[in-house]
């Protein structure tokens, strides 16, 4: 969906068009879920938070003053849902069921991305401090620019950039043996 189509859906949903909102759910559910799953490490909790985020988005959508900034606004709602959800203090479930999707541009290092690699990366991500993880996943999964990450997480752009860099550095260091087994 291009940005014009999305803008039209957002504007229609703002006046109560439920079908338009369902279209936005179709586009953004997997993306929000994936990010939340990276933050809470429990698929069930991520699903609950995703649902909660979209419901909140529906309720407050008329107050979105700039329909063009729907994406960061939605992710900010999701982030707030995580913060609120912390109070429920669900024990984190083990992460299972991860499937490695085929990578489109395989290279020498990318050849080793497999199930084990996914699990290792997942575990390493889970060990990242959440503030780095949140920024990193937005940058990696969504390709969100730093300014938008800053908007979602309530930071300055420079801080958002620093957190992404820090996350990448820590993960690359932690997974060095796996990513580059021939490195002495």
Partner 1 sequence: MNCRTAYSWVLANPTSETPPAGVSRHLDRCAACERRRQRLLGLDRAAKSFAASVDHSAARMRLLELVATTPQEQPPLKLKPASPVAFGWRRLALAAAACLVIGLALGYFLSRRPDLPAPVAHDRTPSNEPGKRTPESDRLSRGETIRRIVLRDTRLAETEAADQQARVLVDMAEDLQDAVIGSVKDGATDGVPVVTVLHEQVVRGGMVRAVSRIPESRRAATLPSLATRLQQSAARLTKAAETELPAVADLLRGMGTTCADVAAALQQPKLPEPSPLASDVNRPGAPLLATLVYGGLRLADDPDPLRRADTCTDVADALVQSIVLASAAGDAERSDELGKSLGEFLDKGLSVNLGRVPSDLPASRQAEFDRVKQRAAKATGALERNLERAPAPAKAGLERALEASRHGRERAAEAGKGKGKGKGKKPDHAGPKDGRGGPPKGPPGLEKRKPPINDEP
Interface residues with partner 1 (CB under 8 A)? 11-12, 14-19, 21-22, 25-26, 29-30, 33-34, 37-38, 43, 47, 50-51, 54-55, 58-63, 65, 97-103, 105, 107-110, 112-113, 117-118, 121-122, 125, 136-137, 140-141, 143, 161, 164-165, 168-169, 171-172, 175-176, 179-180, 183
- Beta carbons of 133 and 125 less than 8 angstroms apart: yes
Closest to 64 measured CA to CA, from 54, 74, 78: 74
Which of 19, 49, 22 is CA-nearest to residue 34? 49
Q: How far is the CB of 59 from partner 1 (least distance, A)?
A: 5
Q: Angle at CA 82, nearest 5°, toward 130 and 175? A: 25
Q: Please, which residue, 91 or 108, has the CB nearer to partner 1?
A: 108
Cβ neighbors of 17 (< 8 A, separation 6 or more) are: none
Choose between 23 and 72: whose C-beta lies nearer to partner 1.
23
d(CA 9, CA 21): 7
CB of 46 to partner 1, least distance (A): 8
CB 119, min distance to partner 1, A: 10
Q: How far is the CB of 150 from partner 1 (least distance, A)?
A: 14
- What is the chain's length? 184
Residue 15 exposure: Cα atoms within 13 Å on the Cβ side: 5
Minimum distance, C-beta of residue 15 to partner 1, in the bound complex (Å):
5
Comparison of 75 and 136: residue with beta carbon closer to partner 1:
136
């Amino acid at each position: 969906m291009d940005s014009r189509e999305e803008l039209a859906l957002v504007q229609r949903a703002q006046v109560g068009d439920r079908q338009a909102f369902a279209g936005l759910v179709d586009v953004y559910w997997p993306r929000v879920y994936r990010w939340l799953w990276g933050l809470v490490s429990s698929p069930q909790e991520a699903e609950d938070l995703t649902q909660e985020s979209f419901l909140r988005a529906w309720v407050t959508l008329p107050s979105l003053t700039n329909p063009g900034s729907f994406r960061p606004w939605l992710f900010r709602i999701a982030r707030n849902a995580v913060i609120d959800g912390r109070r429920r203090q669900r024990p984190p479930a083990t992460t299972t069921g991860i499937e490695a999707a085929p990578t489109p541009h395989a290279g020498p290092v990318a050849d080793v991305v497999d199930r084990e690699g996914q699990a290792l990366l997942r575990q390493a991500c889970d060990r990242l401090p959440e503030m780095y993880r949140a920024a990193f996943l937005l940058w990696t999964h969504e390709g969100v620019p730093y300014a938008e990450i800053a908007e979602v997480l309530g930071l300055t752009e420079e801080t958002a950039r620093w957190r992404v860099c820090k996350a990448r550095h820590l993960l690359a260091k932690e997974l060095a043996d796996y990513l580059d087994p021939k490195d002495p």
